[in-house]
Amino acid sequence: AQSVSQHNHHVILSEAASLELGCNYSYGGTVNLFWYVQYPGQHLQLLLKYFSGDPLVKGIKGFEAEFIKSKFSFNLRKPSVQWSDTAEYFCAVMRSSNTGKLIFGQGTTLQVKP
Amino acid sequence: NAGVMQNPRHLVRRRGQEARLRCSPMKGHSHVYWYRQLPEEGLKFMVYLQKENIIDESGMPKERFSAEFPKEGPSILRIQQVVRGDSAAYFCASSPGGPGQGNTEAFFGQGTRLTVV
């Protein structure tokens, strides 16, 4: 079945540690890729997106993600996390030929200890 | 420019009642998407609407669920005869254009948490 998989369900880090959250998808063809963040009690916010071009995408708040087409991956990274990064992170895929709907991964809860 | 507004934020219904969830898209956005998040799961697409049209309802349950986006007013997700399994967070997203129109970034509302007792 076509899907989006986030490998880490729950991640706990100390402040200043480096972060990498995995995301793999199983769709063939052209895709658009997204990472969203949901802070406690708030709406989903877009961190970054990849449509085409440079596979290394920089987003807000120091986040970046790398699209590796051969691995069907779009991993999220941040070199040094802060306590304020505590949130839930969602990877999502939009098939370019589709109606614009997003297919989400299960989400990763990140807890950063001060 | 207000974001996507959903109301109510929390809704409690008894089994068999109807639930109506409202979504006002961002100003200038004519494309609305509804997603459902069940406990311990990611968001699942339900339906995609443009003004007065349902474009893609492939994620909608076949019975009891309906959605509309009238010419005037918010988009409504309606669940008739709710059951405990309908308890979830329902998110609405809007975008200024649809696929193939250059900008398909979706902006999300804060969600409506439905609890069926």
| B52-110 pLDDT per residue, tens | 899 999 999 999 999 999 999 999 999 999 999 999 999 999 988 765 555 567 899 99
CB-closest option in A44, A45, A99 to B99:
A99
- Within 13 Å of residue B36, how many CA atoms lie on the same side as its CB? 18
Nearest CA in chain A to B39: A106
Q: What are B73-87's pLDDT values in tens digits?
A: 999 999 999 999 999
Nearest CA in chain B to A109: B40
Q: Comparing A93-97, B29-33, B80-84, which segment has the lowest mean pLDDT?
A: A93-97
pLDDT at A1: 58
Of A35-49, A95-109, B15-29, the range with the highest mean pLDDT is B15-29
Query: Do the Cβ atoms of B55 and A99 come within 8 Å?
Result: yes
CATH superfamily assigned to domain A4-113: Immunoglobulins (2.60.40.10)
Nearest alpha-carbon partner for A61 in A75, A51, A76, A74? A76
Domains in chain A: boundaries: 4-113
Unique residue bearing structure tokens 């309802």: B57
Nearest CA in chain B to A91: B42
- Quick check: A70 contacting B, CB < 8 Å? no
Q: What is the mean pLDDT of residues A47-72?
A: 94
